[in-house]
Amino acid sequence: MLDKVKNVIIVLSGKGGVGKSTVSTQLALAMRHAGHKVGLLDIDLCGPSVPFLLGLEGSDIYQCDEGWVPIYTDESKTLAVMSIGFLLKSRTDPVIWRGPKKTMMIRQFLTDVKWDELDYLIIDTPPGTSDEHITVMECMREVPCNGAIIVTTPQGVALDDVRKEITFCKKTGIRLLGIVENMSGFVCPNCTNCTNIFSSNGGVELANHAQIPHLGTLPIDPRVGVLAGSTASVLDELPDSTTAQVLRGLVQHLDAVTAAGGP
C-alpha cells in the first residue's frame, strides 16, 4: 500500500557485494537527518542485510487488517523498515525458495505493507537482472516510481555487470537518476588520507558513457563501518567526512529531482 508514499526510489546494482545495502541504509538515515519521513524496504531475499545494518535483528513484525506493519527505529516514527530478514529466525538461515514463491513474497512486500505517510520510500533490491527485478518493475508500473540509483564499485568486473543493469533499466522503462561509485579508495582512520587500493573513477566514466548523472564517489572508510548495527547517521557522527558530503549532496539532488517533476 503505497498511496501515502510521496516518492519511491529504487537502489539497484548488477553486481553483488558493492555495498548497495549500506548505501541504501545510510541514504535513508541521511534523508531522516534532513527532516524527511522515510521508509526502507529490503527485498533482497537471499541476502537481507538491512536488519543487521540498522541493529534491528530479532525485531518481530505482525500483520493487521491493512497488511504488514513495518518496524520503526524509534518513537518519532520517522524511519520505518521492512525486510524479509524479520521473518527469519537467524541471520544464518538461508531462503531456499523457487522463483514463484520469491515472486509472491516480493509482490506482497511491495503491495501489502502498511506504510504511514512517507516523503520517501527507498527500495533495496537484489543484485542482477533476474525474476526478482522483473517482479519489482511490474509492481512499480502500478505506482509512481521516481527512478533508480545505480551502485557500482570502480573495478572493471563490477562495471561490466552494472552496464547490464543500466541496459535492463532502459529496456524496462525505469528512469535512471544516476550512479554512485562505492568503495573507491581507502580512508586511513588515523590521518584520513585516501589511497586508491583498487582502480578509481570507473563510476564517473560509466556515468559519462551512459549519459546519466554521477551522484558521488564513496570511499572505504572504517569509521563508517563502525556505525553498522545502529541507526546512527554518518551526517551526525562524521559530518566532515567524504561519505557525509556525498550523502548530503545526494539528498539535495533527490529533493531537487522530485520537486521538479516527481516520477
Binding-site residues from annotation for ATP: 14-21
Helices (H), 149-241: 156-172, 202-210, 222-225, 234-237
Known binding site for [4Fe-4S] cluster: residues? 188, 191
Query: 50: closest CA among 248, 249, 250, 228?
Result: 228
CA atoms of 70 and 200, how far apart (whole Å): 38
| Rg of the chain in Å (alpha carbons) | 17
CA atoms of 15 and 153, how far apart (whole Å): 9
The burial of 42, by beta-carbon neighbours within 10 Å (0-12 exposed, 13-18 middle, 19 or more buried), is given as: buried
Known binding site: residues? 14-21, 188, 191
Query: 233: closest CA among 18, 54, 14?
Result: 54
Query: 166: closest CA among 214, 122, 129?
Result: 129
The burial of 133, by beta-carbon neighbours within 10 Å (0-12 exposed, 13-18 middle, 19 or more buried), is given as: buried
CA atoms of 98 and 113, how far apart (whole Å): 23
As beta bridge partners, residue 220 has 186
